[in-house]
Structure 1
Amino acid sequence: MKFFLIIISVTAIIIIGTVHAMAIEEVKYKVVKKDNHFEVRDYSTHIVAETVVEENMEDAGNIAFKKLFGYISGDNRSRDKISMTAPVSQQKKGEKIKMTAPVTQAPDKDSWVVSFMMPSGYTMETLPAPENLEVTLRQIPARRMAVVGYSGFWSEKGYLRYKAELESWIHRMGFTAVGVPIWARYNPPFMPWFLRRNEILIPIDVGSG
């Protein structure tokens, strides 16, 4: 009986998590190229609420989530509640990558920028200002991204593995990276690890793909 109850509970979590994932808005994009689990996508302009956390990679997301979730839950000048969207994105703050010039800049070791996408119905003018000064709003321009998707735990090990795979694929395809890697997570924490949708995205030159 105990085993049966566990199975029922897990099934319920999967169903609830799947419905939750399907119900929230995601940033719009068009697939330009697909190669197994790699894609090139054109993303539309969108707005994010973001915060900077000085912490190790795996803890930074949890710390930032509280601040960002507070903002969309009413910790803003208008006390408005803003719908949750996907994904939660995380990237190194201050990290520069090698482009056409030989000059590079070392990443700020323990500083991460974590962001929530804002619903498409808002503009920079209509979004309420955050009460928490550590949360800021920023408009992301349209851009082309190389993407690799994977399932599994939210770990630095997984991030580094798939980031390396994506960087290798970008090199093989002759694309030019023009921005820092972004770690995107689409599911709530209670989603079983084997059903989680994770992605690494790297901006590439618009002539790529």
Structure 2
Amino acid sequence: MLSSVTRYIIVGFFFTATMASALEKPKYQVLYEDDRIEYRLYEPYIVAETYVELTRSYNNASISGFRRLLGYITGDNVFNQDIDMTAPVQMSTPMLGQEIAMTTPVQTQTLEEKLQIAFMLPSKFSLDNAPTPTDQRVSLRQIPSRLMAVIRYSGRWTERNRNRYETRLRESVEAAGIEILSNSESAAYNPPFTPPFMRRNEIMFEVGSYPRRDF
């Protein structure tokens, strides 16, 4: 007979896996894969995003950004509307000097030493009907269709792991002669209480092409 602790663990694992798989995610087509690395063509989607100064650690900045975006989807918008959570939480450090034109509200930022944190909005929303954020640090933007090289891994969301898999992905892409068009982006698909071995984490680059198999 299973102990109460064992039952709790089993139920918790099942709940975590079910909840993560039920969340809406960006749509993409896998064009090429080799072991853990995939080349994906993503469809356009809308994100709520914010930028946080990297004056402290990467993790502290990501937590600050996550809280702002959580506020937006739990009612900090002009309609006081709750918005369904999606996956993954996306993070990136834009290239130095890069300027991004925000669509809602309209503003332009020069992104140096900042961390971008973004949530995808459910696909029922467009820039025309998505609730406008009331926090001026949060904005909405459409991500265009992009070709991404992606490496997937499990484990803890640590800077050491991110650097390790970013290096592995970069080396693979460069060895294939593929042009990298962006800094790395990170994606976390699971809530923090998910056991590390069940987590889905990804590192990705926008790329100019993908490897072609010879048949």
- Normalised to the residue count of structure 2, the TM-score between the two structures is 0.87
1:49–1:138 contact (8 Å) kept in structure 2? yes
Aligned to 1:184: 187
Aligned-pair distance for 1:7? 2.1
SS of equivalent residue, structure 2 residue 118: strand
Aligned to 2:102: none
Does 2:210 align with 1:208?
yes
Q: How does 1:55-94 map to 2 (within 5 A)?
A: 55=54, 56-94=57-95
1:95–1:180 contact (8 Å) kept in structure 2? no
- Pick closer, same or farther for the CA change 1:158–1:18 going to 2, 3 Å: same
CA RMSD of aligned residues (A): 1.8
Q: How does 1:158-197 map to 2 (within 5 A)?
A: 158-197=161-200
CA distance, structure 2, for counterparts of residue 94 and residue 171 of structure 1: 18
1:96–1:179 contact (8 Å) kept in structure 2? no
User: How many aligned positions are there?
Assistant: 197
**Which residue type is aligned with residue 31 of structure 1?**
V
Q: How does 1:24-35 map to 2 (within 5 A)?
A: 24-35=23-34
Aligned-pair distance for 1:59? 1.7
**Which residue type is aligned with residue 164 of structure 1?**
T
CA distance, structure 2, for counterparts of residue 131 and residue 7 of structure 1: 44
- Pick closer, same or farther for the CA change 1:181–1:29 going to 2, 3 Å: same
CA distance, structure 2, for counterparts of residue 5 and residue 62 of structure 1: 33
**Which residue type is aligned with residue 92 of structure 1?**
T
**Which residue type is aligned with residue 182 of structure 1?**
E
- Pick closer, same or farther for the CA change 1:52–1:89 going to 2, 3 Å: same
Q: Identity percentage over the alignment?
A: 36
Mind listing any 5+ residue stretches in structure 2 that lack a counterpart?
99-110
2:32–2:210 contact (8 Å) kept in structure 1? no
Aligned-pair distance for 1:13? 1.5
Does 2:122 align with 1:123?
no
**Which residue type is aligned with residue 19 of structure 2?**
H
